[in-house]
Structure 1
Amino acid sequence: MSIPAPHALTPAEALAKLQEGNLRFINGQNEHPNQDGGRRQSLVSGQDPFAVIFGCSDSRLAAEIIFDVGLGDMFVVRTAGHVIDSASLGSLEFAVDILNIPLIVILGHDSCGAVTSAIEAKKSGVLPKGFIRDLVEHITPSVFAAERKGFTDVNSTVVEHVKETSERLVDRSRIIGDAIAEGRTAVVGVSYHLSDGEAQVVSGFGLQDD
């Protein structure tokens, strides 16, 4: 099987571009790049995003806004609590193996409702109804991991869940693991602060050789 051609940006360069955009957002200096009619027309025949965001579905976590990017810049996959399932995993593998995206960002945030539900379910021993239960069961291992480190509050647990999600993604996906080993992509865990807009890097795989 042939190895996909590398992206024009390295994983480290892609991360730097996101961090620059986030700094503009924090400082209220958004440039709103790639959001006009010309950009829209240029993407009709194809796309070449430089990052894939696997983030929480929370309405306060609009990835293109907090990183100050535009159309065609990011491939976005979202589930409540950035829980990995077969559809999200397939989407991330598509981003890496077909679109050759050099950076995967696992994006969590303060006061996450899904993480809060998992913490409360663990404390009470009562699981929620319907498929929300499945969501909580996927997050609960991160709650235990946080507690082993002495963290019981939601925001510290969110950080641990971001780290755990990053590790699970690399462990579960051979496609992504191989891409990291080949230096074609990296996985970075980021925790977003609702109050000041900062997207803080908390973990990473595959950046050390860039």
Structure 2
Amino acid sequence: MKDSKLIVTAFDWVPGFAQGYVRDLRVRWALGEAGFSYDVEVIPQGKQKTPAHLKRQPLGQIPTLDIDGRIMVESGAILWRIAETSTALLPDDAATRDRVLSWVFAALNTLEPPVGMLATLELFVNDKDAAARLRPKIAAMVTGVLGRLVATLGEGPHIVGNFSVADILLTTVLLDVPDDLLTDRPSLRAYVDRHTGRPAFQKALAGQMKPFAENAAKYERAS
């Protein structure tokens, strides 16, 4: 993949609450850590369901990764493929690699769904009374997983051995966790701060935010 032509799709703009959280951030970060150069194709907001994009991403989502004309979808799958072809994001020994893969799935399948439910309640459910009734149950699901994550992490800087693709996915999911659920978990706060302080993350974030700033006026006029 290092010598391939890589193109990441991303939005040209999203509302403020989503800026810095769109999942192309994960892909940009992983590519940066791997040392792979790539181009970005920005898609106008609202155009992700056009036939051209649906042809490469049948669900009309962002991001995709074009690898020499071969399209990959789903950020978790994309990150694993990047990690497999890099020397920076996976350990060499099979046993530790299996643990990393397990935490990749834990981030995507166990932690991210209830965290996403909390975001949905806060941002997209108009019946605020109903949202308030549901939030404690979903928050309890999240805090249960966070507690087990704290116990596993201990004092270690990374979830498994050295920095890996699992840390990228866990960090980007933890960024979506409401502050009130992280207040009493300083080790997780430090974990997030440690990884978002990495140069590759900062470069990825700046790259995602740049078109948002450049196109904001266009969308403000249209609203």
Higher RCO (Cα < 8 Å, 6 or more apart): 2
Q: TM exceeds 0.5?
A: no
- How high is the TM-score relative to the length of structure 1? 0.28
Query: Which structure features the higher share of helix residues?
Result: 2
TM-score, normalising length from structure 2? 0.27
